[in-house]
Amino acid sequence: MQSLYDIPAPAKLNLFLHIIGRRTDGYHLLQSAFMLIDWCDTLHFARRSDGQISREDLNVPLPADDLNVRAARALQQATGCTQGAHIGVLKSIPAQAGMGGGSSDAASTLLALNRLWNLKLSVQQLSVIGLALGADVPFFLSGGHGWVEGIGEKITPLSLPAGRWAVVKPDAGLDTKLIFSDPELKRDSEPATITGFAADAAGKTQIPFGFGRNDLQAVAQKLCPGVNQALQWLDDKGLSGRMTGSGSAVFAHLQHDIDVGNMLMDAPGALQVRLCSSLDVHPLLGWANSDGKIKV
């Protein structure tokens, strides 16, 4: 089957993550700054005329009803589209890492099939579908970096300076539900402001990108020794590490020129280390209309 689209699905880093409260339904209220980076999965799409959604795992076996399949079916149901698709998934972003790989794949699936099926939905309409799939999906549809609030659905575009990052993923992953259900999780951080964060990111404070903390990190370190190992490895290199999302990946901003080659070669086998750069915008920016013609 001929592939019609070969598209990327980039990962993200949470430059900070504060929990500022909790809703009555149990969902946590957060504030975070999401940065897109150039660690990407690759998705291949081909149109099917029989209305079926099929998926081919090109390297890593995925669950039968993963987010790519669920996103495609949700788009069909929202629009009444009778076309189908075959999706090939080449995974690179680690699972259970806090880097948004599954959500990014789902967002790229929505954008690709919106174009492949000529549905002409807007980003806003796709985001309604995406939010039902996962709280991070609307961010990956928004087209750039973002100041994220609520349960992840409130997104304000952010202009961020370019950055280089060492991203370190331990062997073990982390279950987000275990972290958010832990009684020791800090849930009462004071609300932050975009102005305060932006001043830090622009280097107007002592440590660029040193704003705040990740409120999930202490619990993650208790649950997953690999997080501690990754943070210690960065510290041994003179780098200040922080966990992204609910982990288990950690990252450090590379402020100065360093011998990255030697650093990567020196990584223990239990750690996956990758040098990443921030993206200016999402690679699929503009793949959805500014306003759609189909109500969902």
- Work out the pLDDT band at 295, boundaries 50, 70, 90: very low
Task: Determine the distance from the C-alpha atom of residue 68 to the mean position of all C-alpha atoms in its chain, rounded to a whole number.
Answer: 14
Tell me the whole-structure pTM to 2 decimals.
Answer: 0.93
Give the residue numbers annotated as catalytic, written as ranges.
12, 136
Q: Is residue 292 part of a domain?
A: no
Residue count (the chain): 296
Once rounded to an integer, what is the mean pLDDT over residues 14-42?
A: 96
Does 115 share its domain with 202? no
pLDDT at 203 over 90: no
Does 130 share its domain with 171? no
Does 127 share its domain with 248? no
Mean pLDDT over each residue of the chain, to the nearest integer: 92
We report the CATH number of the domain holding residue 99 as 3.30.230.10
Domain that holds residue 253: 164-277
More confident residue, 35 or 203: 35
Extended strands (E) in 23-145 = 28-48, 53-57, 84-90
- Work out the pLDDT band at 202, boundaries 50, 70, 90: low
Per-residue model confidence (pLDDT) at position 111: 98
We report the CATH number of the domain holding residue 180 as 3.30.70.890
Q: Is residue 237 part of a domain?
A: yes
The dihedral built from the CA positions of residue 152, 99, 291 and 72, taken in this order, carries a sign that is: negative
Once rounded to an integer, what is the mean pLDDT over residues 170-184?
A: 95
Tally of domains within the chain: 2
Does 130 share its domain with 194? no
Per-residue model confidence (pLDDT) at position 210: 87
DSSP 8-state class, residue 205: S
Q: Is residue 104 part of a domain?
A: yes
> Cα(252)–Cα(177) distance, rounded to whole angstroms?
25
